[in-house]
Amino acid sequence: MKKLLVLIFSLTQLSSLAYRFAVTKSRQTIVYADVNLSAPIGYIRSGRKIKVGDNDLKQGTIVPLVVSGKIAYVRTNDISYSIDGTKLEHVPELTDHDVKTIFTNDAQRLRENSFFSLDYSRLEVGTDWDSFQAQYANETSPAFNRINLAIEYRDPKHRHGFKISLGYLFASATYSSINSILGELQYQYRFINRNSFVAEGYFGAILTGDFEQENFGEKATGMAYGYNIGGRIRIAPYSRIGFYGQAGISTLYTSSMDTLVTETVSSVGGVTIGAGISFRL
């Protein structure tokens, strides 16, 4: 009986145009089908302007709203009635399309939280190639360039993320060059995880069977493996387009290299700095 009275009261308030304008402030404002908040039906993303009832319910903890003509409820601490002190006015009606369902399947969740990224970074060459250049060419080693294309899985509700990338590493001097196509599997952990800003650490394992070094026209190929560890700052991380900068240490160790008249490097790498852009799929 009590639930029925609350429902009738809510419908009366909304149908008589006794409403307020609000904006969702939580990353995911959960929408419930009942006043006891036991039946979640979906969520509204942060920053969405909505129309809610003029009176709070259950000692000011929840407020009713209408979604496609049906009554629903949100917590009052998930919304705000002003933006920077300015009272909200004239917001569009809320529809089922605006309320994302919680009960999505794995394929939908994977697509919603997947991103394509493109980045460029500069990488120190390491002592081996520095020594080679000093001994055989009497010149300073140029830094490595690395271009990456990647697919990332980043769920805004969780701090963990993953990245699979395909990269191209290259550098050339007067008499020698090194280049390689790299594969990397990376784990990410977000220390600060907000809609507008993310600070994360990462660790990646790198592998390639296409490491090539050329000295004075003579080429050697082989394998290489290594790691990539560092930190990353993201701006607008979960938007359609986002940007990021990163810095860390990346090292590759060569293996099964062909023999050259001169010599091949046993490792390359050092401090790396880069920037990139991401796109929501």
All structural domains of the chain: 2-102 (2.30.30.40), 108-280 (2.40.128.100)
d(CA 238, CA 112): 10
CB within 8 Å of 166: residues ≥ 6 apart? 148, 149, 150, 181, 182, 183
107 pLDDT tier (thresholds 50, 70, 90): low
> Alpha helix locations (H) across 75-146?
106-112, 127-132
pLDDT digits (tens, 9 = 90+) for 156-178: 888 999 999 999 999 988 888 99
d(CA 253, CA 72): 59
- What are the structure tokens assigned to 206, written together? 């790198």
- What are the structure tokens assigned to 157, written together? 């509700």
The pLDDT of 109-138, averaged and rounded, is: 86
pLDDT digits (tens, 9 = 90+) for 124-134: 988 888 888 88
Q: What is the pTM of this model?
A: 0.64
